[in-house]
A and B are shown apart, each in its own frame.
Chain A
Amino acid sequence: MQIVFYILKRILQTVPLLVIVSLLSFFIIRLSPVDPLADLRLNPSVSKETLARETQRLGLDKPIIVQYAKWALSFARGDLGVTSNGERVSVKLKERIPNTLLLTVVVIFLTWVVGVPLGIAAAVNWKSNFDRLLTILTSIGMAIPSFFFAVLLLIFAVKTGWFPVGGLTSANFHGMNFFQKVWDITHHLVLPVTVLFTISLAGLQRQMRANMLDVLESDYVKFARAKGLSEFQVIYKHALRNALNPMITLLGFEFAGLLSGAALTEYVFQYPGLGRLILEAVLRSDINLVMASLMIGAVMLIVGNLIADILLLLTDPRIRAGANV
């Protein structure tokens, strides 16, 4: 019961947060000197009437606060509005979200499946050659800029011809059978996943290693060892459980990055995800589309944190005791 109250309280807290985020974003975009109509203004074949009509259609003739109120009302009703080209924002997002999710989910899955065990292994074999090798590799992984790495891999793809040059599907994708389709998508995913995986793996592995090292130093682990428990039981039953707690918070952040974390890599690989769509929207000051993406980002972050907190509540009795107050 307490958990339900806790969740409700948290959800209520998000409302003012979202209002502030949206206000800030809206005003920053609208007050930025990007004029969605600047190109039309300098086009000799565009008449004054057309300009006036466009200004009216985009609502630019109204004061900024009225524009915001209009947007906020329709957002509250669940309507994301239309883009500056008159397409529905929700439709545009729906086209792209699955692609981005496909990429980020694969990456997160791989990172956790590989990163957590590697972190444990490094901590258990602390200061061994294996640990040092991992440290070097993860240092490289953390140091290499994703943008640069992605470009390198693209050049690799062009030179060898082993991988397609960006994109998600081949031109003849729709004529393929199911297995060919799966293979085609996998083939296209290899390079972008490699980039994102390398970079997030490094962080996660180090985090896990540090947590584990902390826990291995603690009194209860020493006690467990003194009790004569097997090393396996000490590590996996006592140490690991405690070391995983901070990782749960991290998982919340990973959730927030599901839709926005891969934008740069998406851009380099011409991946048909949200990143490219939003970038272009920002450049054109396409307010509804930009606002929708910013709000999605904010909501994802809040929900991610909420999920992490709830999971912590469930796993960590210490926090549960605190929440009761």
Chain B
Amino acid sequence: MKRVVYIVLIVLVLSAACVRRDQASLDHEKGYSSVAQQEIVFPARAKTVSVDGVDFLQSQAPVGKFGGTLTTSIIGEGPKTFNPFNTKDATSSTLSELMYDGLVTTDAQTGDTIPKLARGFEIHGNDYIIYLRRGIKWSDGAPITADDVVFTWKNIILDGFGNTSTRDSIVVDGKLPVVRKIDDYTVVFTTPQPFAPFLRSLAAPIAPKHVFEPAVNKGKEYFETFFSTNANPKDFVTSGAFKIARYVPAQRVVYERNPDYYVINTENQKLPYLDKVVYMIVGDLNNEVLKFEGKEIDLINLKGANVARFKKRERGGDFVVYNLGADTGTLYLSMNLNNRTNDGKPYVNPVKQAWFQDKNFRQAVDLALDRQNMIFNIANGLAEPLFTPESLNSIYLNKDLPSYERDEEKSRELLRASGFSWDDKGRLVDRQGNRVEFDLYTNAGNTEREAIGVMVKQDLEDLGMKVNFKPVEFNSLVNKLVGTLDWDMVIMGLTGSPLEPNGGKNVWLSDGTLHLFNMRPEKDKNSKRLDWEVRLDELFRRGALATNFNDRKRCYDEYQAIVYEQKPMIYIYSPIRIFAIRNKFGNIFPSPLGGIIYNLEEIFCK
């Protein structure tokens, strides 16, 4: 008997300790949930300076020291190609675009489009006049001229070589822009009609004609294998700050500085400062953390509990932790607003249709969600609540739309207003007396979305709804969402662009290929639109045609306001990005838009 008492006591003490520990760690994480976003003082924008007939780009960042290596990492199996026109994954794009500059780039501080390989540009209606730098060279010494630009755009991008996503994004009504050479240093692009997103697409890399032309002449199939990962690093002719020196499969990619780069510092010395940049190829996040702690890498994107641990060791450590704010990933809950039939059979049960079509119902669901709770418990506090379709770091974010907390009372009021009521057991029933019960899907295996699903289910069941939460395999889910269309509610995520809302047109146009919440397959193309869908179509059309930022902003502000009001997609949160970088590096100006090492040529080793 005595023994039993002891065992009970021990269990009690242990469990008490556990409870207390859980509590403590939660508080602890809350404390660091907002690693303050530091104030960064950016240097003035780089400007063009002509020295001995060469139009250099002069960085205005403080002058640093030459030499040194920066080692960072990429997660996964490494690059699939080093040809920037063939890349289909983020790793390959990062690694290949490091070597090739585009005509323009994005100002990491303001998001403006600024000249890079080009000296400047002018926009006259549908004409984009690009002025090139005189005297700058490819890494083999050949001059960079209008021929390279025209070749890259006409023969590679517009002809549909490699990955065609750039081409796909600039097709307007089936028509493509045309490009022509005015003289060796001037090129004109003409779009079929005014099309604002075109300017940013000029950031696409420019290829050296004398190297790429033979490959293009051999056709598309050959081009797919051109400059693959097996290519000899010596064969690369590049324009970027760094050039590949060695690729060791599954281990690392080593870049060395381009000694003839066209960016100079304020003392007119040629950048970049660093001798080498190394990308370690690591298999997973845990290994990345170990490599950072083992001092094998200098830069790391921190996730989850590691943030608190690193933040604690930052003081006295040899690294700095930066919070870059919310990233472009958005998690959302969507309802199926489809009210059409397939061979006489409705896609969605008509009883449920009535609920999902009801704006009050959608708003009630939205108000019932406890976003803060999800952020603390699922994202370790490393996320920001989200209420708009544009991500929080978007330059088009509509800041007038206020955020709000969970409000069960208001939610119940909205339901009551739409004729819903609760039976004696607290179960929600609609006007016809049907029990409110539906399926909630997400893709199985994604632990974050599964956890959100569980919490959404709890929140909605507090309102008396019955939610059947069903994580299903990704492919079956995709098939449901874009094929058979027989779903009620879903939790999914999308990645948008912080710079170009037009990228979301496939989601928001009423006949878009990803218009999930009211998908119109081919046979339904001409079916009736909801009033606000018509308005969204109009806003996206106008937003793409307007070329002035403020005109565009007005269109995209209104679209966000409509989604905020109508709630076809209920946004939940955006994760925030936190990086640690060794403090031996200078000229680090982290920005939500650019990240940490977007200005690689200016970074130096102290």
Indicate if the CB atoms of A165 and B291 lie closer than 8 Å.
yes
B398 at the interface (CB under 8 A from A): no
Main secondary structure of the interface of B (DSSP, over half): mixed
Q: Which of A33, A41, A48, A276 contacts B283 (CB 8 A)?
A: A276
- Contacts A44-B506, A48-B513, A86-B224 known; A272 to B249 CB distance under 8 Å? yes
Which of these binds chain B: A19-27, A102-110, A166-174?
A166-174
B88 at the interface (CB under 8 A from A): yes
> Within 8 Å CB of B503, what residues of A?
44-45
Indicate if the CB atoms of A270 and B282 lie closer than 8 Å.
yes
B294 at the interface (CB under 8 A from A): yes
Indicate if the CB atoms of B294 and A161 lie closer than 8 Å.
yes
Indicate if the CB atoms of B165 and A168 lie closer than 8 Å.
no
Indicate if the CB atoms of B228 and A167 lie closer than 8 Å.
no
A230 at the interface (CB under 8 A from B): no
**In the assembly, what is the distance between CA of A41 and CA of B478, in Å?**
8
> Within 8 Å CB of A49, what residues of B?
164, 168
A155 at the interface (CB under 8 A from B): yes
Indicate if the CB atoms of B478 and A171 lie closer than 8 Å.
no
Indicate if the CB atoms of B77 and A277 lie closer than 8 Å.
yes
Interface size, chain A (Cβ < 8 Å): 42
B474 at the interface (CB under 8 A from A): yes
Indicate if the CB atoms of B168 and A45 lie closer than 8 Å.
yes
Indicate if the CB atoms of A44 and B474 lie closer than 8 Å.
no
B81 at the interface (CB under 8 A from A): yes
Indicate if the CB atoms of A174 and B246 lie closer than 8 Å.
yes
A42 at the interface (CB under 8 A from B): yes
Contact with A along B272-287 (1 / 0, CB 8 A): 0000001010110001
Which of these binds chain A: B38-46, B47-55, B250-258, B421-429?
B250-258
- Contacts A45-B168, A174-B246 known; A168 to B228 CB distance under 8 Å? no
> Within 8 Å CB of A213, what residues of B?
none
Shortest C-beta distance, B98 to chain A (Å), equals 17
Indicate if the CB atoms of A95 and B249 lie closer than 8 Å.
yes
B406 at the interface (CB under 8 A from A): no
Indicate if the CB atoms of A171 and B252 lie closer than 8 Å.
yes
Task: Tell me the chain A residues, 153-168 only, with Cβ under 8 Å from chain B.
Answer: 154-155, 157-158, 161, 164-168
Shortest C-beta distance, A39 to chain B (Å), equals 9
Contact with A along B303-342 (1 / 0, CB 8 A): 0000000000000000000000000000000000000000
Residue in chain B with minimal CB distance to A268: B287
A197 at the interface (CB under 8 A from B): no
Indicate if the CB atoms of B494 and A44 lie closer than 8 Å.
yes
Indicate if the CB atoms of A45 and B251 lie closer than 8 Å.
no
Task: Tell me the chain A residues, 198-250 only, with Cβ under 8 Å from chain B.
Answer: none
Q: Which of B250, B290, B476, B504 contacts A154 (CB 8 A)?
A: B290
Q: Which of A33, A35, A158 contacts B293 (CB 8 A)?
A: A158
Indicate if the CB atoms of B287 and A166 lie closer than 8 Å.
yes
Q: Which of B81, B164, B474 contacts A85 (CB 8 A)?
A: B81
A267 at the interface (CB under 8 A from B): yes
**In the assembly, what is the distance between CA of A96 and CA of B514, in Å?**
40
> Within 8 Å CB of A165, what residues of B?
287, 290-291, 293-294, 296
B527 at the interface (CB under 8 A from A): no
A280 at the interface (CB under 8 A from B): yes
**In the assembly, what is the distance between CA of A280 and CA of B506, in Å?**
30
Indicate if the CB atoms of A38 and B249 lie closer than 8 Å.
no
**In the assembly, what is the distance between CA of A169 and CA of B247, in Å?**
12
B266 at the interface (CB under 8 A from A): no
Task: Tell me the chain A residues, 92-126 only, with Cβ under 8 Å from chain B.
Answer: 92, 95-96
B80 at the interface (CB under 8 A from A): yes
> Within 8 Å CB of B278, what residues of A?
171
A7 at the interface (CB under 8 A from B): no
A13 at the interface (CB under 8 A from B): no
Shortest C-beta distance, B290 to chain A (Å), equals 5
Shortest C-beta distance, A317 to chain B (Å), equals 48
Indicate if the CB atoms of B507 and A44 lie closer than 8 Å.
yes
B475 at the interface (CB under 8 A from A): yes
Residue in chain A with minimal CB distance to B278: A171
> Within 8 Å CB of B250, what residues of A?
95-96, 270, 272-273, 276-277
What 10 additional pairs, Cβ within 8 angstroms, besides A38-B478, A158-B293, A169-B248? A33-B473, A33-B474, A35-B474, A41-B482, A42-B514, A46-B165, A47-B513, A86-B81, A166-B290, A268-B287
Task: Mark B residues whose CB is within 8 Å of A.
Answer: 69, 71, 76-77, 80-81, 88, 164-165, 168-169, 224-225, 228-230, 246, 248-252, 254, 278, 280, 282-283, 287, 290-291, 293-296, 473-476, 478, 482, 492, 494, 496, 503-507, 513-514
Task: Please list 21 pairs of residues, one from A and one from B, whose beta carbons are closer than 8 Å in the complex, sorted by A's number.
Answer: A33-B473, A33-B474, A35-B478, A38-B478, A44-B504, A45-B168, A49-B164, A49-B168, A85-B88, A86-B225, A95-B249, A95-B250, A161-B295, A165-B290, A167-B280, A171-B254, A171-B280, A268-B287, A270-B282, A276-B250, A277-B77
Task: Mark A residues whose CB is within 8 Å of B.
Answer: 33-35, 38, 41-42, 44-50, 85-87, 91-92, 95-96, 154-155, 157-158, 161, 164-169, 171, 173-174, 267-268, 270, 272-273, 276-277, 280
